[in-house]
Structure 1
């Protein structure tokens, strides 16, 4: 289903640290050539996820992503890694966003009586640390549209490289939300009560889970990237009558083709 009901959690790594390349060298983007340059990677594909938070039914939708690779200024200063397929090691700051589709209560019998929730876009920043065999991150975002609350996300991955083209990662994920966030997606106000009892959740840890990701380099410009994640709601989110009617365990899957672009200026 390509409707905006689908939530597409996207953590967009935009590593801005000037750490050394892992091993490969990109001749077309070598710092030895003059002028400024910018490199970034776009991802497009398909995903499958619950139709709303707590749903026990799933639907397909689009998968899109953006990753900053490298910026070289005319004065020679450089940010990121000239090789788009190598990890920038050390500490870095990145952008973070997540899109949450609208929830139309009339489309689901389990949500009868609830108000609709508009689509939302979460924008924020994060900090991360990358080593050859692991990486960790912590993000904070604010919602706009369907909710105007604060959320936080954190995770750590072990990294495996069976060969020089394949990168595998596996690790836990945590998501926190403020009270406004949990009220929006897990609460039932007195005016909405009827088929579902009134419920006023507090903020806190919303979910915990694990994600497995894979990335394969086809050539210098093209690749394939995918991930499978599982999370379970915790605390007041888990006890929501919306979740109790559906499922506290949520699965998400995505796969897409990546293309790296290099611009000179």
Structure 2
């Protein structure tokens, strides 16, 4: 099951097969040229990135007990080389070391009238999040942290930190699973989980006034599978379970919904390479 065992077995098989094939070919026959090594695909490349799309099953809003299916973009960064300045990421199948990449997220508009539990609270515009992700990977594990600036529906700092175990049963298949935690500033929690006195009155006092503080928003576990079915083409699947915690879990908005949150996503993506210099 380990990558090393698989590679050793594959190497042995190919060596035996190659010897047998060579013995069956006459001296005048020409063997087909060898396929280029995987790493040769990225020789001279300065930028590697990934773009794709898929679908996501997730709560209709944070703290909801109702779910929806929505489109989900896939945007990934692999490698950037600025000659004479810096080089970050990895161009090919090599793994390990420090990783620095952009981090993005988006929360769609929340319309109170669309949900019985939220009527009277008012709407929240779509929120966009842009930031940076730092990680360090070993052969079979990784740790990472993300920090993003949120703007639109609310302006604040949000982020995530976690760790994963990694398995690569074959060179094309990568499996990850591990714990994570998310955090958010006070403005974020007030916007999405708070209830002002006026909003409480608008709900007929169905929801009590509530003023949450910032901090850890949720903890959970996630897992992902990634399969390269053709060179630079990937099938991506991921799932997560998280529990809203702290002040967020005590929000009357969450009490009217569910503190347990599940997601499942499936998508297709393609890696692109550019020689910039």
- TM, length-normalised to structure 1: 0.84
**Greater displacement, 98-107 / 73-82:** 73-82
2-structure distance, mates of 1:118, 1:246: 20
Q: How does 1:188-227 map to 2 (within 5 A)?
A: 188-193=195-200, 194-227=205-238
Match of 1:5 in 2: none
Aligned length: 236
1:76 is displaced (CA, Å) by 10
Is the helix fraction higher in 1 or 2?
2
Q: SS at the partner of 2:199?
A: coil
Among 122, 134, 146, the alignment partner of 2:129 is 122
> Unpaired segments of 5 or more residues in structure 2?
1-36
Q: How does 1:28-107 map to 2 (within 5 A)?
A: 28-31=41-44, 37-73=46-82, 78-83=87-92, 86=93, 88-107=95-114
* 1:151-200 CA distance string (max 9 Å, x none): 12101000011222111000011011111111011100111003211111
1-structure distance, mates of 2:271, 2:127: 28
* 1:12-54 CA distance string (max 9 Å, x none): xxxxxxxxxxxx73323214xxxx6422111211111000011
* 1:113-146 CA distance string (max 9 Å, x none): 1011000011111321011100111111111001
CA RMSD, aligned part only?
Answer: 1.8
Match of 2:32 in 1: none
Match of 2:26 in 1: none
Change (3 A) 1:38 1:253: same
Does the aligned pair in 2 maintain the 1:113–1:195 contact within 8 Å?
no
Match of 1:241 in 2: 252
Higher Rg of the two aligned structures = 2
Match of 1:250 in 2: 261
> Unpaired segments of 5 or more residues in structure 1?
1-23
**Greater displacement, 103-112 / 63-72:** 63-72
Among 250, 268, 271, the alignment partner of 1:260 is 271
